[in-house]
Amino acid sequence: MSDTKKKSIKDILNFREAGVLIALIILCAVIGIMNPVFFNARNIIKILRQFSAIGIIAVGGGFVIITGGIDLSVGSFMGFGAVGIAKLISMGVPPIVALIMILAIAGMCGLVSGVIIVKVDLNPFIVTLAMMNIMSGVTYLLSNGIPIAFNNYLNFLGREFMTIPVSIFVMIIIMIIGHIVLSKTEYGRQVYAVGGNAMSARLSGINVDKVKCSVYAMTAVLAALSGVITCANLNSGDVSTGSGYELNVIAACAIGGCSLSGGEGSILGVFIGAAILGVIKNGFVLLMIPASWQTITIGIVIILACTLDRIKHLRSEG
Amino acid sequence: MKDVILSVQHLSKSFPGTKVLDDINIDFRRGAVHAICGENGAGKSTFMNIIFGVYQDYSGTLLWEGKETRFGSPLEAEAAGIAMVHQENSLIPYLSVMDNIFLGHYPKKGVFIDKKALKEKAVKLLDELGITGIAPEKIVNTLSVAQKQLVEIIKALSLDAKLLMLDEPTASLTLKETEYLMDIIRQLREKGVAIVYVSHRLEEVFEIADEISVLRDGQMVKHLDRDQFNYDEVVYHMIGRKLQDFDREGEDNRDLMHSGEVLRVESLCRKDELRDISFSARKGEVLGFGGLVGAGRSELMEALFGFDRYTSGKVYIDGREVEIRSPKQAIKEGLALVPEERKQKGIIACLSVMENINVVSYKDLKNGRLISRQKERRSAQEYVGSLRIRTSSIMKRIGQLSGGNQQKAILARWLRMKPKILILDEPTHGIDIGAKEDIYKMIRSLAQEGTTILLISSEMGELIRLSDRVIVMREGEVKGCLDKHEMSQESIMKLAI
Ligand SMILES: Nc1ncnc2c1ncn2[C@@H]1O[C@H](COP(=O)(O)OP(=O)(O)OP(=O)(O)O)[C@@H](O)[C@H]1O
Ligand SMILES: [Mg+2]
């Protein structure tokens, strides 16, 4: 009896994301001790809101990385989402229609990346790098570099509901859906199989091309959605929205245990990864440490997290 | 007694959670072939990998030429004069054959690679092994499995090692290549090279070995010198039980004459690899495919399964013409393929044994839209049990299983699917002799239940024993079809060459 109990405690500490979760807890504890304001409900909500933009996209980014790919275009899709929706609405398109259009266009463009990756057999790094340039050019064309005002009922996406920002709800809902899809559906298993060994996956009757295309399309949609939310929050669509986010998204996934060679990772890990990035940003502000140290720390955290994961991986037998 | 080149003393090795080698003591002598026999997962590959410097975290000592040594990497082991042919192919896919052979020890002119010498040396080595059909410039990726294995062997031979370790070198070779290899091994033995030989093909072991050590559950349980060799004893020590005799005729009540045709292939062609191939198979029939390496048997099966497209020809299943464009569609039509190349085309190394077994069957493992944790576990557990897959848990990554156990898991994947037509390309590749019997039994009972089986095997005994008819192929063409009573090693070889 005591034996089985012991085992279950060990099991709890042994789940894949335990390492990063412990890192996150320690990080919170250290910052909280140095500045107790950190643990204020308001501050925690603030952190969550700050990383919700990355968190939403990172769900897609996680899928992409698990299939063995990478997506560098998410930042410009986010900018496209923000500017595109503001532009459409300023042209008189009803907000809800504009939202659907923007998400659909982003999805189509993401699908194009996917199709090129599978049909021309180009490296996803190159294809999404190209797509990143194309989308940021398009965004610039739409706005001429000038922010476009955004005032309509979709602004609620950037507001609060029962004192909690709507973007947090959106992130949590998308995380939960992503988690269920990835871990509990046949499609999710196919995503892992494709990343683990595409040839075996194909011989096991999986439509590898379809799976790969789908993840790029999904990520583009999520990136655009994240852009819309940011736009709603700022009351304007700005070209600079989302710039540099692609690397934050990849960092969140890597910290959270997604293997860049594919086949491994989880949405829970991605969430923790995004949270670590958010906590570091917030903590450095609270502790009044210069921003340059913040980026240095993020760099170190990425390496530490991946090293820890690697060691755990080598040790683990299951 | 010949002098000892490597003496292994009190060697033990654990992976987290499992002890793989336990206090091994063994000597390897110059000019002798020392075979190591053992079940799948007994620890043979691990043992050789330790000597080769792949793992350093072991306890015990290695005395290499009398001096205590601990190789820090394969490079150090090679420098000391050790070469190894790995169980799984370790070639670099996008380099040429000659580059792969000489990688790490290129012939040089100053700082530059001596291209001419490189090619000459490669050609010489290929000739020595009697290999035709592999040009030194060929990119490894374009070779067949057996050809890759030959290149792997040549690569090890090119090192002129003092100790040569071969981990299942013949697993995908046919008779002819195997005989060449045996000749080479005899020559090397004459020259005083020490050879460690691991194979699940015991006839080979008895032919070539000077001594046999039997490894079971990580312990050396028996050592035999040539004059003490005894088949039954070796098998008994390997698997811990006696092998039951195969009783084919006993329970066979299939009536092939009257069972319907399930598969018919008419004039199938693919570029110049497959030429005008026609055959048919009945319900419950085991149709064997014989031929040499490069005869196009695997290519034919992959074309049938939709992995490669065929350029012309017709395929009928249950009398209905089907055009199979992808494996997905093939599976829908009731086909299953256990491919030859386990590492590239079979396993998904970073996923668990459970996921690897279930990957084609998730449809049956759902509750509503979601996968049922309980059903998928039960499904994997069932096959791990019935095929005796040796793993500490079904959640273990399949890449950490021994080669033979990986093969069993891939078999389980396709048996689980309960196909109408089961294509087996070297199904017992790397599987130990006890487990082979289990698999033969399983193949037979599937045939009894009405599954049509297309079987490729480079092991003549296996092919003859299991097949109802054998189709012999040569250079992409069907050369003949032999009935049960016409089948023999000679009749098959006659058509194959
Ligand atoms: N990297 C690893 N991590 C954990 N366990 C491992 C690892 N490599 C091997 N093992 C375990 O060690 C045991 C011995 O494996 P090994 O590959 O040496 O067997 P083998 O005798 O070569 O079998 P086979 O005949 O199937 O090739 C197996 O039970 C296997 O699961
Ligand atoms: Mg082995």
Q: How does pLDDT run across A237-267, given as a tens digit for each residue?
A: 899 998 889 999 999 999 998 888 888 899 9
The residue contributing the CA closest to ligand 1 atom 27 is B403
Burial of B60 (0-12, 13-18, 19+ CB in 10 A): middle
Q: Where are the domains of chain A?
A: 36-317
pLDDT of residue B34: 93
Say yes or no: A184 contacts chain B, CB-CB below 8 A: yes
Give the nearest chain B residue to A205 (CA atoms): B328
In the prediction, which pLDDT does B398 show?
A: 93
By the 8 A CB rule, do B72 and B251 touch?
A: no
Q: Is the pTM of this model over 0.95?
A: no
Reading phi first (left if > 0) and then psi (alpha if -120 to 50, else beta), residue B21 is in beta
Q: Rounded distance, CA B338 to CA B334, Å?
A: 13
Asked whether the beta carbons of B298 and B425 are under 8 A apart, the reply is yes
Q: Token pair of A106, please?
A: 């982003």
The verdict on a CB contact (< 8 Å) between B345 and A199 is yes
Phi-psi region of B130 (alpha: psi -120 to 50; beta: other; left: phi over 0): left
For residue B218, the ligand 1 atom closest to its alpha carbon is 14
Contact (Cβ atoms closer than 8 angstroms) between residue B254 and residue B284: yes
- Residue from the list A186, A205, A259 with its beta carbon closest to the beta carbon of B331: A205
User: Which residue's CA is the closest to the ligand 1 atom numbered 19?
Assistant: B41
Given a cut of 90, whether residue B444 has pLDDT beyond it is no
Burial of A26 (0-12, 13-18, 19+ CB in 10 A): exposed
Q: Does A167 touch chain B (CB under 8 A)?
A: no
Start-to-end CA span in chain A (Å): 23
CA dist., res. B36 & res. B59, Å (int): 20
Q: B247: pLDDT confidence band, cut at 50, 70 and 90?
A: low
Predicted local distance difference test score (pLDDT) of residue A2: 39
Nearest CA residue ID for atom 17, ligand 1: B402
For A25-47, write each residue's pLDDT tens digit.
998 999 999 988 889 888 999 99
Mean pLDDT taken over chain B:
87
Tell me the torsion sign for CA atoms A176, A178, A184, A185: positive
pLDDT higher than 50, residue B298: yes
Q: From residue B169, how far is each of A266, B37, B154, B185 by CA, in Å?
A: 39, 14, 11, 11
List, chain by chain if needed, residues with CB within 6 Å of any ligand 1 atom: A 317; B 15, 18, 20, 38, 40-46, 87, 390, 400-405, 430, 432
Query: How close is the Cα of B167 to the center of ligand 2, in Å?
Result: 7
Neighbours of ion ligand 2 (CB under 5 A): B 45, 87, 402-403
Residues of A in contact with B393 (CB under 8 A): 317-318
B313 pLDDT band, cuts 50/70/90, is confident
The pLDDT score that the predictor gives to residue A6 is: 47
B153 CA to centre of ligand 1 in angstroms: 22
The fold for domain A36-317 equals ABC transporter involved in vitamin B12 uptake, BtuC (1.10.3470)
Judged by CB atoms closer than 8 Å, whether chains meet at B344 and A199 is answered as yes
Question: What's the CA gap between A57 and A43, in Å, rounded?
Answer: 22
Q: Which pLDDT score is estimated for A13?
A: 56
* Min Cα separation B202/chain A (Å): 30
Residue listed under structure tokens 């080769």 = B52
Q: Please state, in angstroms and rounded to a whole number, the distance separating the CA atoms of residues B395 and B353.
A: 6
Give residue A188's pLDDT.
Answer: 92
A121 interfacial to chain B (CB closer than 8 Å): no
Q: Is A303 on the interface with B (CB under 8 A)?
A: no
When pLDDT is cut at 50, 70 and 90, the band that residue A4 belongs to is very low
pLDDT digits (tens, 9 = 90+) for B117-158: 888 888 888 887 777 778 888 888 888 888 888 888 888 888
Of B344, B369, B400, the CB nearest to A317: B400
Is A257 in contact with A23 (CB distance < 8 Å)? no
